[in-house]
Chain A
């Protein structure tokens, strides 16, 4: 027996038939030659040869591989069956395609974001290094440059360790001056990542010579920036540019696929941080850090190693003046938090994605239950056929195998269609994913995702195929005569079908509850007063006054005010102001300071740190933050050196009990140099959700944009500020052109960047919730539809089965209304049981999604009530339609039908 023969046997059979024919011809010729009549000659020849069909069969069997043979036959049978029942096939294949497609798509996202390693060599060795300071009342403490040196010198588990941060650099010397998105790092960061340049070279230790400037006089460009600004010119290496008005030389270009972690917006230029060890002091906790571990070292090893080095670090660097010394830092209780770099990149979306994966898995289960139900009906209608075949000698295992092969064929077709759907779905997800979804560029329909789809297809074929197959196997003594009218024997099957519907309803309820909770979350977020108004009418843009062009501090503010006056004169502009940051800009612009309150005794400790920003007069009016009490800061306050501040309502209530009580009180920042730096609270404004809608509004202090003796500066100003412009034209090119020309008419080399409306920021803050809401909503809608189809199918089937009984009842005088009610009741009972099971499941499962919820309890009664009533209504409708058909049964017709 061989494969070659197996596949060639059809042609061999033809060959053999010709050979036998040739025998007959020769024998007939000879018989005629012996004097027989042609007819007799042929007959005798046939007798001599024997049964030719049997001979061919015998030879054919010699070349058979039998399990494969039967599989092929079953498959052909299955395909023929599928073609013969297009309605059934379409229903099953579409249901499966939706289920498998949705699962594959979400798995594609999970795979790209959570499972795939980062796109660096041996990415498993990469870790992020963070730290917490429980004694300091901040959730996370950035690293100090001194820690970097200690860890690099004393560490035992690191191959490389580096510091990085991000921001912007104004690049001049090529076209218009432009603020480029910049990545700042020490030379060892790119070495740790293991990336190579496409052109030129990367930074080396030798480049990191200490200097007064914060960055080395050389930059590396990313591929996109090189293409955009230099048209991919290879001679760019060695070119001299100005970065923040300081000369820099281009030394390298990164390859096209390079991405730095989840930096968003992506870096355009990379600058080298220069650090002067001799001038460093403990403090300046402003860097992020990553490292590559030595092979074999674990995250726990790294944590232990850093914990070991922290005391060494504290004792080997000088402390800044005006601080309480090392004891102060010891009180912070700094604890290292090393984690795989991938966790740092992925952040908090893991929870959401796993919830989605579980959700969509449930949809597949519902789909399988539906298909199993269809298959049961199908095998029911084929009972007679199976009975005939059993009588003709088919074994029970033959029939079971055939049913399984049929479900396999269905799921393969469904799976193939599902992969196509998943491809479309993934394209859609990548296009619409919120910017908060990291690693979107790693999402693709790769072999692993396709394998997943295939496994899911096979799994589901087993799931929905096994049940009808087993039922078929369990059927004893299928009789030919009884098969056509075996209504009573199918009670047991009906139980199975009922159980399937109960499962469907239960799962649908879970999904409806989940999406109901998301809707409540969404509404709760919409109802959050963000602390600014009509966000779509507020345009923001960032400008930066370079110290090379405007060295004097006071002129910085004058320049900014001049720009503001120009913008205020633009048509359609209702208000214009600026601030060091606008709400929801992300962690980059978060500023903290310890705020002392006059008259409070802190017993030698530092007071709690408060969020702060600096604002120009009119900022609150422009962005739409309500004044609760007191007044705004004025320009005469600023230029007159009045020591004033504005605070948020929650800060006022926390410290003084009411906004009114806070007016006239005095506070100061933590700079310890003098005690007469108290600033009077002249105004109280409403709370602003500075971080995100779903995060509490932090207590806030708003300082004027220019202050004497603040934070260690004799005259403190903010060189980088966000313009806040209220206008109906917000987001339109006309306004932006006006703003740009206003800025350049004041100073032609000042770039305008990070242009967006407050609505953009607001939407980004809603993005995670809207994404989860849309995905859960789709899943729940699919579940509900499938569940309705399930209920409808069962009731319709029962009606069809019992049409004879219904006929008799009607003939005996039963009212159609009663009959209708009977069937609807049956549907509702099934739904009620399913809902009961679903409630218990939902209560248990929704705890996994608590991290996605806002402003709603996971056991929110209105949600559960609404879901239950939707489900009840849907079930009533799904059973009413077939029930009506029962009432319309014509007694005469059904009774004479047999």
Chain B
């Protein structure tokens, strides 16, 4: 793995990490730690990530206005920075999910051509 490249991004298509983060935040506000673990668990540990690489992605999303942040307290009473989905982010997620599904269908058709 080349230095300086985020591990997660290197194994997933561009933009996928963004989509995953947005998808997790649909459930409600969460802090970085929760999001990182949620991605790991939700993918049944297929996506093993260095959790730190999540943070640049969070920063990027916040800059784009898709998510917003606020400081809060975690379940075990630690100060933590929470992220929540903004309306723009919600629209983005919908658009990206649709597009993702189209791509997956297209790739699927190529890999397993229908026998009909």
Q: Which residues of A contact B (CB under 8 A)?
A: 5, 15-16, 18-20, 22-23, 25-27, 29-30, 48-52, 54-55, 58-59, 62
Contact = CB atoms under 8 A, between A and B. Distances in A.
Contacts of B114: none
A29 B51 CA distance: 16
A16 B56 CA distance: 10
Contacts of B41: none
B74 A26 contact: yes
A19 B32 CA distance: 8
Contacts of A15: 81
B76 interface: yes
A216 to B, nearest CB: 79
Contacts of B51: 23, 27, 48-50
A15 B80 CA distance: 11
Contacts of A26: 31, 33, 74, 76, 78, 80
A49 B51 CA distance: 5
Given A5-B63, A27-B33, A22 B74 contact: yes
A16 to B, nearest CB: 7
Given A49-B52, A62-B63, 16 more contacts: A5-B63, A18-B81, A19-B81, A22-B33, A23-B31, A23-B36, A25-B78, A26-B31, A27-B33, A27-B51, A48-B51, A49-B50, A51-B52, A54-B4, A59-B56, A62-B59
Which 6 A/B pairs are nearest by Cβ-Cβ distance? A50-B52, A50-B50, A19-B81, A49-B52, A26-B33, A55-B52
A19 B74 CA distance: 12
A636 B37 CA distance: 129
- Most chain B beta carbons < 10 A, residue from A25, A52, A55: A55
B32 A58 contact: no
A198 B81 CA distance: 70
The interface size bin for chain B is: 20 to 34
A29 B78 CA distance: 10
Contact of A59 (B32, B59, B78): B59
B100 interface: no
Given A22-B78, A26-B78, A54-B4, A59 B55 contact: yes
Interface of A is mostly: helix
Given A22-B31, A27-B33, A55 B56 contact: yes
A25 to B, nearest CB: 5
Contact of B60 (A22, A25, A54, A62): A62
Contacts, number: 63
Nearest to B79: A22
B79 A20 contact: no
B53 A55 contact: yes
24 contacts: A18-B81, A19-B32, A20-B55, A22-B31, A22-B33, A22-B78, A22-B81, A23-B31, A23-B51, A27-B33, A27-B51, A29-B76, A29-B78, A48-B50, A48-B51, A49-B52, A50-B50, A50-B51, A50-B52, A52-B52, A55-B56, A59-B56, A59-B59, A62-B63
A498 B55 CA distance: 59
A20 B52 contact: yes
Contacts of B80: 19, 22-23, 26
Nearest to B52: A50
Contacts of A27: 33, 51
B32 to A, nearest CB: 5
Contacts of B59: 16, 59, 62
Contacts of B74: 22, 26
A380 B99 CA distance: 62
Nearest to A56: B55
Interface in B30-51: 31-33, 36, 50-51
B2 to A, nearest CB: 13
- Most chain B beta carbons < 10 A, residue from A26, A48, A58: A26
A50 B50 CA distance: 6
Nearest to B6: A58
A50 B36 CA distance: 13
- Most chain B beta carbons < 10 A, residue from A15, A50, A54: A50
A209 B26 CA distance: 96
A51 B52 CA distance: 7
Nearest to B58: A19
Contacts of A5: 63
A309 B53 CA distance: 92
Contacts of B63: 5, 62
Nearest to B4: A54
Nearest to B31: A22
A52 B52 CA distance: 7
Nearest to B74: A26
